[in-house]
Amino acid sequence: MTKKKGLLDFVAETTFIHILFSIILGFAVGAVFLAVMGLSIGEAYGRLVSSVTSLKGFTYVVVYSVPYIVAGLSVAFSFKTGVFNIGAEGQFVMGSIAAACVGILFGNLPKILLIPMCFAAAMAAGALWGIIVAFLKTKWGINEVLSMIMFNWIAFYLSNFIAGIPAIHSDGNAEATKNISSNASMLFSKEFTKSAGLAPTFNWGFIIAIVITILVWLVIEKTTLGYELKAVGANRHAAEYGGINVNRSILTALAISGALAGLAGSLQLMGMGNRISVFSSQEGFGFAGIVVALMGCSNPFGVLIAGVFYGALIYGGSKLNLVGAPTQLINVIVGTVVFFISISVIFRNLKYLKKTKATGTKSGEAAK
Amino acid sequence: MTNFINELGIVLYATLVYTTPLLYAALGSCFSEVSGVVNIGIEGMMTAGAFTGTVIAYFTGNPWIGFLCGGLAGALFGMLHALATVKLGADQTIAGTAINMLGPGIVIMIAKVMFNSTDTVPLTATQKIPKLFTGLFDTSTVFGRFMDNVFATYASTYLVFLAVLVVWFVFYKTRFGLRLRACGEHPQACETLGINVIAMRFGCVCISGFLSGLGGACVTMAISTQFRPISIVGQGFIAIAAVIFGKFRPHGALLGCLLFGFCSGLKVVLGGSSGVNMQLISMIPYVVTVLVLILFVGKSRVPSANGKPYIKSK
């Protein structure tokens, strides 16, 4: 219990300054690696900046960032309620394959009906994946981190299995599903994106991401449900004493978090992917969601900004090989950022130790 | 019947081969978790070990030097994790997430610079970890074939089973082990008895990195012959799952790893011969784990100070 409380406290206390500092250090470490490899730092970072600041580049960034934002919201929501949703990966996969099935099998339905149906299917599938884990935890006390790792892989293989079913599988030789019906696609018309000079995959997803961000903020901050979930996250026993049904809260929290991750999966599919490939390794959107949630201090609006930042790194990073720098540099930078976010706690501890030294009180409590 | 015995031999062989890397990593995870530090960075440490082991073996031509260096590379990332979590009081889950990004990020970048590809050059037979008992059994008899199949596994496999015994002994029969376990249960009490909790935990996380690195090296130097970005995909997390499954005890983790290894082995044999869908077969280990937990194991008792940063009292 205290373990989760620690994480929650941690997330709550991480501030914008820590994040900014960590990002600067991340780029500094990236620069060191570039220098060691004998590459020009200015050229590489210049490329990174120039590829995301053009109109076309920026619209690509927006397109890339949509699934990261929503997956980040999923994880941030779970953080707020005291659960570490490492299972977002599986929920994302379930959401995308569910949306793909609906988008392929009901392709004849009009857009206005089909798109909401795809979203609904994705959210239901993601929520189901969250609920199963919550149920295993509340009913049999099974460690949720363990079962989430298991269900990530079950989702992975289930998605591959479904992609292989003849009704879903691509008609051609591709190891993937059929393309979803154009009625399920959220792309802007080709003529529009071309004439405006935007990325060809520019789509409605970002509006949905913004709406979801506001909704999540409203639920967490302005509703009784959000209050109850936060209370459970902050102190399970106190919440129970206060008359909150803790088991039901965990179930609700993971269902909502799962639904968000599932929605992220459908947004990726209907905005960009258009079909689901047979995976050979986990795609990592859910894990990216963890990073985005951390960089966004688990605040919905912070997550929105962090998601765009992450999308920019991923898109800009894919252009790094044009100047001879490995794209993996981005992972090193992001990893360093997360690393420094994790140790930003030291500044608070320093402050704490100073204070206790001054007053002479015992600091044993700090270990709690 | 002959055919069945033959296939049984292959399943057992595959079980041993796939269990090995998981078991190294799981033993590593035991060290870290039991001393009170959550280490979800196992995956990143394995990747570092996998790459370093292969590259060193490629350049020196000696698999054992490579294997050892794989472990040391893992230990280096273990040290980074220890620095953050033990010395600086970082959140352990987040630091582990960082390690999982940094490990693969750094080694794949180095691979790209060294080999101009994300894959390393495949190892030759003499650069790989050797098999110990090939040609020992008479393959003309059914029993001989069976034994030959089972014992066709690599030296690293025998080593890891030895390591389980050693770790078990260290944990439960030595003073160091008692102190280690106490650090994960009640660090304050340890400190009052004069045990240096910080040093104990720091050491344990480094050991955990070392063992994970060895596990990673097994994947690329025994099962396969080269490092690729998809060499380590989820084995680190499976190892953690096996440890939780085994209630944070080395012998429990052994059972967990064997379960996963056996299911993977079954996959190899069934996948080739039967008409059952490969994807569904691949799902078996994960479904079985959940079922076993529900039916037999139940609640896993986490070391009580696990995950809490320890700040020394003044």
Q: How distant is the Cα of A205 from the closest Cα of chain B, in angstroms?
A: 27
How much is the pTM?
A: 0.86
Chain A contacts in chain B segment 120-159 (CB below 8 A) = none
Residue B117 lies in a domain: yes
Nearest CA of chain A to the CA of B147: how many Å?
Answer: 33
**Distance of alpha carbon A288 from alpha carbon A294, whole angstroms:** 10
Please check the confidence at residue A362 and state whether its pLDDT lies above 70: no
Token digits for A165?
């079913």
State how far residue B210 is from chain A, nearest Cα, in angstroms.
Answer: 20
Asked if residue B148 is part of any domain, the answer here is yes
pLDDT of residue A366: 40
Q: Are B25 and B211 a contacting pair, CB within 8 Å?
A: yes
**Helix-strand-coil percent breakdown of chain B, rounded to 5?**
75, 0, 25
CB count in 10 Å sphere of residue B124: 11
pLDDT at A348: 61
User: What pLDDT band is residue B274 in, cutting at 50, 70 and 90?
Assistant: low
Angle between helices A285-295 and A55-80 (to 10 degrees): 80
| Chain A hits for B37, Cβ within 8 Å | none
Radius of gyration of chain A (CA): 22
> What do you get for the CA distance between the two ends of chain B, in Å?
70
Cβ separation of B188 and A149 shorter than 8 Å?
A: no
Residue A60 pLDDT level (bands cut at 50, 70, 90): very high
pLDDT at A106 over 70: yes
> pLDDT value at position B181?
92
Backbone angles phi, psi at A177, to 5 degrees: -80, 170
Going by C-beta distance under 8 Å and a sequence separation of 6 or more, which residues neighbour residue A246? A232, A236, A239, A240
Specify the amino acid at residue A78. S
Average pLDDT for residues B120-142, to the nearest whole number?
Answer: 83
Is a pLDDT exceeding 50 seen at residue A308? yes
State both tokens at B218: 């097994």
Report the alpha-carbon distance of residue A53 to residue B187 in Å, rounded.
51
C-beta neighbour count of A11 within 10 angstroms: 21
> What pLDDT does residue B272 have?
61
Among B98, B165, B37, CA closest to A336: B98
How far A187 CA lies from chain B's nearest CA (Å)?
32
**What CATH number did the domain enclosing B285 receive?**
1.10.3470
The Cα–Cα gap between B13 and B149 comes to 6
% residues pLDDT > 70 (chain A) = 90
Question: Which of A89-93, A156-160, A274-278 has the lowest average pLDDT?
Answer: A274-278
pLDDT of residue A64: 93
Q: Please check the confidence at residue A27 and state whether its pLDDT lies above 80.
A: yes
Query: In the structure, what pLDDT confidence band is assigned to residue B120 with cuts at 50, 70 and 90?
Result: confident
Answer yes or no: do A160 and B279 touch at CB < 8 A. Answer: yes
For residue A356, what pLDDT is reported?
A: 56
Check pLDDT > 90 for residue A130: yes
The closest of A73, A34, A37, A19 to A339, measured between CA atoms, is A19
Grade residue B221 by pLDDT with cuts at 50, 70 and 90. very high
Spatial contact of B128 and B64, defined as CB atoms under 8 Å apart: no
DSSP letter, residue A320? G
Q: Percent of chain B at pLDDT above 90?
A: 46
Confidence of residue B307 (pLDDT cuts 50, 70, 90): confident
pLDDT at residue B224 greater than cutoff 50: yes
Nearest to A7 among B80, B93, B241 (CB): B93
| pLDDT tens digits along B13-63 | 989 999 999 999 999 999 999 999 999 899 999 999 999 999 999 999 999
A149 contacts B237? CB cut-off 8 A: yes
For position A358, what pLDDT does the model report? 55
CB A59 within 8 A of CB A198: yes
Q: Which residues of B touch A33 (CB under 8 A)?
A: 106, 109
Helix residue ranges, H only, B247-296: 250-273, 278-292
Mean pLDDT value across chain B: 88
Give yes or no for residue A46 having a pLDDT over 80.
yes
What's the pLDDT at A6? 56
For residue A14, what pLDDT is reported?
61
Look up residue B167 and give its amino acid: V
* Spatial CA neighbour of A259 closest among A63, A85, A109: A85
Beta-carbon separation of B91 and A6 below 8 A: yes
Least Cα distance to B97 among A296, A84, A21 occurs for A84
Assigned domain for B192 exists: yes
pLDDT at A3: 43
Give the pLDDT mean for B133-156.
81
Average pLDDT over every residue of B226-251 = 88
pLDDT given for residue A361 in this prediction? 43
Token pair, residue A195, equals 């004439």
Cross-strand partners of A187? A203
Q: Which of A364-368, B141-145, B221-225, B284-288 has the lowest mean pLDDT?
A: A364-368
Residues 6+ apart with CB under 8 A from B288: B259, B263
- Report the number of distinct structural domains present in chain B: 1
Give the per-residue pLDDT at B299: 64
B-chain residues near A350 (CB < 8 A): none
pLDDT in tens, B70-92: 999 999 999 999 999 998 888 88
pLDDT exceeds cutoff 90 at B200: yes
pLDDT tens figures, A140-198: 888 888 889 889 999 999 999 999 888 888 887 788 888 898 888 888 888 888 888 88
Q: State how far residue A178 is from chain B, nearest Cα, in angstroms.
A: 18
Pairwise pLDDT comparison (A249 vs A141), residue with the higher score: A249
The class of domain A2-357 in CATH terms is mainly alpha
Confidence check: pLDDT of B93 > 50: yes
In a domain, B308, yes or no: no
pLDDT tops 60 at residue A297: yes
Average pLDDT score over residue span A64-78? 95
* Rounded-to-integer distance, Cα A99 and Cα B262, Å: 34
Lookup: tokens for B253: 């983790």
Nearest chain A residue to B292 by CA distance is A142
At A25, is the pLDDT very low, low, confident or very high (cuts 50, 70, 90)?
A: very high
Tell me whether residues B290 and A147 touch, CB distance under 8 A. yes
pLDDT of residue B76: 96
Closest CA to B267 of A243, A90, A146, A153: A153
The rounded distance, in Å, linking the Cα atoms of A351 and A354 is 5
Please report the pLDDT score of residue A357 as a whole number: 55
Determine the average pLDDT of the residues in A80-107.
92
Q: Is the pLDDT of residue B139 over 80?
A: no
Of the pLDDT bands very low, low, confident and very high (cuts 50, 70, 90), residue B298 is low
Structure token pair of residue B143: 């029993």
pLDDT grade, residue A364 (50/70/90)? very low
Quick one: average pLDDT of A200-209? 90
A141 vs chain B: nearest CA distance in angstroms? 5
* Over residues A70-77, mean pLDDT: 95
Measured distance CA(A294)–CA(B59) in Å, rounded = 40
State which residues form the domain around B57. 2-297
Residue type, A264: A
- The pLDDT score that the predictor gives to residue A365 is 41
Distance from the A189 Cα atom to the nearest Cα atom in chain B, whole angstroms: 37
Cβ neighbours around A61 below 10 Å, total: 22
By C-alpha distance, the chain A residue nearest B235 is A149
Nearest chain B residue to A327 by CA distance is B109
Tell the burial category of B40 from Cβ atoms under 10 Å away from its Cβ (0-12, 13-18, 19+): buried
The answer, for B307 touching chain A at a CB cutoff of 8 Å, is yes
Nearest to B298 among A86, A141, A364 (CB): A141
Contacts of residue A331, defined as CB under 8 A and 6 or more positions apart, other chains included, come to: B101, B102, B104, B105, B108, B109
Per the model's pLDDT, the better-predicted residue between A7 and B10 turns out to be B10
Residue B134, Cβ neighbours under 10 Å: how many? Answer: 11
Residues in B 190-249 with any Cβ partner in A closer than 8 A:
230, 233-234, 237-238, 240-241, 244-245
Is A335–B307 a contact, with Cβ atoms under 8 angstroms apart? no
Closest-CA residue of B relative to A330 is: B105
The CA-based diameter of chain A, rounded to the nearest angstrom, is 74
